[in-house]
Amino acid sequence: MTRFHHRLHQDKQGRELFVEAALEAAESVDKGFTFGDADALYLGYFSSDMFERQGHTAALMADWLGMNPKPAYRVEDACASSGVAVNAGIQAIASGMCDVVIVGGVEKMRNLGTAEVTDTLALAADANYEAGVGFTFPGLYAAIASAHFSKHGSTWEQLQQIAIKNHVNGKKNPKAQYQETIKEIADKLGERKGTSFRDEMEFLNSPLNPVVASPLRLFDCCPISDGAAAVILAADEVAERYTDTPVRVAGIGQASDTMALHDRDDLTSLRATGVAARQAYKMAGVEPRNIDTACVHDCFTIAEVVATEDLGFFAKGEGGKAASEGRTALDGEIPVNPDGGLKAKGHPVGATGAAMVYEMFKQLRGQAGEHQVADAEVGLAHNVGAAGATVSVQIYRRG
Amino acid sequence: MTEYTVKAYMDHLMNEELVGVECKSCGHLMLPPRPLCNRCGSTDLGWRRFMDKGTVAAKTVIAVPLTRFQDRCPYGVGVVTLDEGVSISGLLLDEEKIDVGSRVEAAYVKDEYGVVLAFKAA
C-alpha cells in the first residue's frame, strides 16, 4: 500500500497510487509474481467520478498494470468498496473461475476542498432523505453517538480514549497519515498559538478541536486522505507457487441494511456488522474471543465503539468503557486497529478495506514492526459502507 | 407504473403534508413512500397521511455543512420517531431547545431548491 496522506500525493493521480500499491504487493511475494499471473482485478473506488473526473477505473487500472485482456471489475460500495472487492475476489477463487486475483482500492480525495469532499461523501447516504434534509456523513455518526449516549450512557470522554489510542498506534506505523500522538499534536499546535495543554483531554476540550457535528469534534473524525492498497489472493492449490508462509482466508461475511439510518430499529448498532460477522465466524469456526487482533471501521470514534460491540468483542453498551480501560490497546486483551485505524492511518475511502487486509497480512506473518500484536494468529477485518448499509468482514489465519 | 414516487412525496411536502404508504397486505407503514413493501414484498399499497408529531431519537448540530445548508450553519438535524412508529430524518429547528427524547412537530422549510422536512419543539 502507499502511505496514506493529505499532502504527499498532491502531484499524483489515482492510477499512479494504485500502481505503486500493486507493485509493493507484487514485490513482496516471496517466490516472485508478475501481474500477468492474475486472472482478474477487483478494484474498490468510491468516487473517481467526483474526485478525479474519471470513470471506468477498473479497466484503467488493469491497463496501467499491464493486465489486458484480463477482466477488471470496479466495486462501489462507499467506504466499503475495497472490503467488498476483497470478498468478490475470494468468491471468484472459491467459484473455481480464477486461481489468482488482484484486489485493491484507491481514493484520490484531496483534489477537492473540504466543502466539496463533504458533499461527495454525503452521496453515500440517501441523497433525498438524509443529505436532502441536511445530514452530512459525520452528522449521521454524530446521530448514532447521541442515541448511544442516551441509551447506553456512554460518553464523549470515552470516545477520546479511542482517538488517543489510535494515534499512539499510528505513530508506530510508517504507512500512517498521522505518525504523532495527540499529545504531540497538542504540544505543536499549542506552541504555534502561544499556549500549552496539560494533557490530551485539555487539548481535545479546547477550541483547537472544533465541533464538526456535535458531539463529534475534529479529533473524533478520520481525516481526508489520498492513498491506495492492493493485495494478491491465490487459490490453495496454487499458493505454494508464491509463498511457503501464506495467510489463509478462514471466513468471510457480508450484509446490507437500509440505506437510511432512520429506517433502522436500533440506532446504536449496525445490524449489517452483526450479520456479516456471524457468517464469517461460522465459516471460520471461531468465536469473537478467538480473534487476536482486528481492524475495525473507525471512520469516527463512535464507530469503533459500535463495531467492537457488534462484532461481539464486548457486550452492547460496553465498547466505550472497554476502550477507556485500555482493553483494545496494542497490549490489551484484543488490540483493535493496531495500524492506527482510519483515524490516524487515514481513510482514502475506496482503499480502506484492502488496507485492512494489508495490515492483517503483516500482523499474521509477524511482519508488522513496531505495531506488531504479540502472537497474532487469527485476525479480523471489518469494513463499513457509509452508516452501515454495506458491511464486509473477513477472518484471516496464519497459514 | 408506480404512483409512489419521490416526486409525489416532495409535492406533498410542498403542501405541508407528511405522506407515505401503507402495505395493504401486511400493514407495514413506510415513510417516504416506496413502490414495494420492504417487509413482505407486496405492491398492493395505499397512501397514508402521517400526523405531524413525534419524539427525537437522535440529534446532532452540524458545524461543517453541506453546500446547500451553508447559510443555516450551525444547524440541527436528527431522526424523529413519529407517533405512528415510523422514523424519518429532518432538520431540527430551535435545536438548542431539542434533545434526544424531546417531543417535536413537523415544519416545512422552503428554500431555492424546494422543500426540506424539519421539526420544531412541540
DSSP secondary structure of B7-32: HHHHHHHHTT-EEEEEETTT--EESS
Residue B61: list chain A partners with CB under 8 A.
211, 213-214
* pLDDT per residue as tens digits for the range B43-74: 999 999 999 999 999 999 999 999 999 999 99
For the beta sheet containing A390-398, the strands, ordered from the edge strand earlier in sequence to the opposite edge, are: A247-256, A390-398, A378-385, A293-295
Spatial contact of A46 and A76, defined as CB atoms under 8 Å apart: yes
Rounded to an integer, what distance in angstroms lies between the CA atom of residue A105 and that of residue A229?
6
Helix (H) or strand (E) segment spanning residue B115: strand B114-121
Spatial contact of A217 and A343, defined as CB atoms under 8 Å apart: no
Rounded to an integer, what distance in angstroms lies between the CA atom of residue A302 and that of residue A155?
10
Rounded to an integer, what distance in angstroms lies between the CA atom of residue A337 and that of residue A359?
9
φ and ψ at A276, to 5 degrees?
-65, -40
Active site residues of A: 79, 347
Is A160 strand, coil or helix? Answer: helix
Rounded to an integer, what distance in angstroms lies between the CA atom of residue A104 and that of residue A88?
11
- What pLDDT score was predicted for residue A284? 98
Rounded to an integer, what distance in angstroms lies between the CA atom of residue A382 and that of residue A392?
6
Q: Is the ipTM of this complex over 0.90?
A: yes
B2 pLDDT band (50/70/90 cuts)?
confident
DSSP state, residue B52: S
Q: Which residues pair with B104 in a beta bridge?
A: B54, B121
Q: In residues, how long is chain A?
A: 399
In order along its 399 residues, chain A shows pLDDT tens digits of 999 999 999 999 999 999 999 999 999 999 999 999 999 999 999 999 999 999 999 999 999 999 999 999 999 999 999 999 999 999 999 999 999 999 999 999 999 999 999 999 999 999 999 999 999 999 999 999 999 999 999 999 999 999 999 999 999 999 999 999 999 999 999 999 999 999 999 999 999 999 999 999 999 999 999 999 999 999 999 999 999 999 999 999 999 999 999 999 999 999 999 999 999 999 999 999 999 999 999 999 999 999 999 999 999 999 999 999 999 999 999 999 999 999 999 999 999 999 999 999 999 999 999 999 999 999 999 999 999 999 999 999 998
Helix (H) or strand (E) segment spanning residue A345: helix A341-345
Is A178 strand, coil or helix? Answer: coil
Residues 6+ apart with CB under 8 A from B34: B4, B21
> Residues of chain B whose C-beta is under 8 A from some C-beta in A?
6, 32, 38, 57-70, 72, 74-75, 77-80, 87-91, 100-101, 116-118
Spatial contact of A162 and A323, defined as CB atoms under 8 Å apart: yes
Taking CA atoms, A213 is separated from A95, A201, A386, B66, B78, in Å, by: 44, 19, 16, 12, 11
Residues 6+ apart with CB under 8 A from A360: A247, A293, A295, A379, A380, A381, A394, A396
Is B61 strand, coil or helix? Answer: strand
Mean pLDDT of B11-38: 97
Distance from CA of B60 to the nearest CA of A (A): 5
- Nearest by CB: A134 against B32, B69, B88: B69
Rounded to an integer, what distance in angstroms lies between the CA atom of residue B90 and that of residue B103?
14
CB contact under 8 A, A262 and B79: yes
All three cell numbers of B20, joined, read 407515505
- Does A139 touch chain B if contact means CB atoms closer than 8 Å? yes
CB contact under 8 A, B32 and A130: no
Cell 490453495 belongs to residue: A236
CB contact under 8 A, B64 and A142: no
- Amino acid letter for position B55: T
Q: What is the CA radius of gyration of chain A?
A: 20
Tell me the residue ranges of DSSP E strands in B29-113. 29-30, 45-50, 53-62, 75-82, 87-92, 103-111
- Does A221 touch chain B if contact means CB atoms closer than 8 Å? no
Taking CA atoms, A47 is separated from A13, A66, A119, B66, in Å, by: 13, 23, 12, 17
Tell me the residue ranges of DSSP E strands in chain A. 40-44, 72-75, 100-108, 211-213, 216-217, 226-234, 247-256, 293-295, 378-385, 390-398
For the beta sheet containing A40-44, the strands, ordered from the edge strand earlier in sequence to the opposite edge, are: A72-75, A40-44, A100-108, A226-234
Q: What is the CA radius of gyration of chain B?
A: 15
CA-nearest of A69, A46, A198, A201 to A137 is A46
φ and ψ at A73, to 5 degrees?
-125, 130
The total of other beta-carbon atoms located within 10 Å of residue A34's CB is 11
Rounded to an integer, what distance in angstroms lies between the CA atom of residue A260 and that of residue A131?
10
- Flag whether the pTM goes above 0.90: yes
Q: Which CATH number fits domain A247-398: 3.30.1360.120, 3.40.50.1820, 3.40.47.10, 1.10.3720.10?
A: 3.40.47.10
B1 pLDDT band (50/70/90 cuts)?
low
Residue B66: list chain A partners with CB under 8 A.
118-119, 122, 131, 134, 136
The total of other beta-carbon atoms located within 10 Å of residue A229's CB is 31
Please work out, in degrees rounded to the nearest 5, the angle formed at the alpha carbon of residue A213 by the alpha carbons of A210 and A215.
80
Residues 6+ apart with CB under 8 A from A282: A251
- Domains, chain B, ranges and CATH? 6-50 (no CATH), 53-121 (2.40.50)
Q: Which residues pair with A213 in a beta bridge?
A: A216, B62
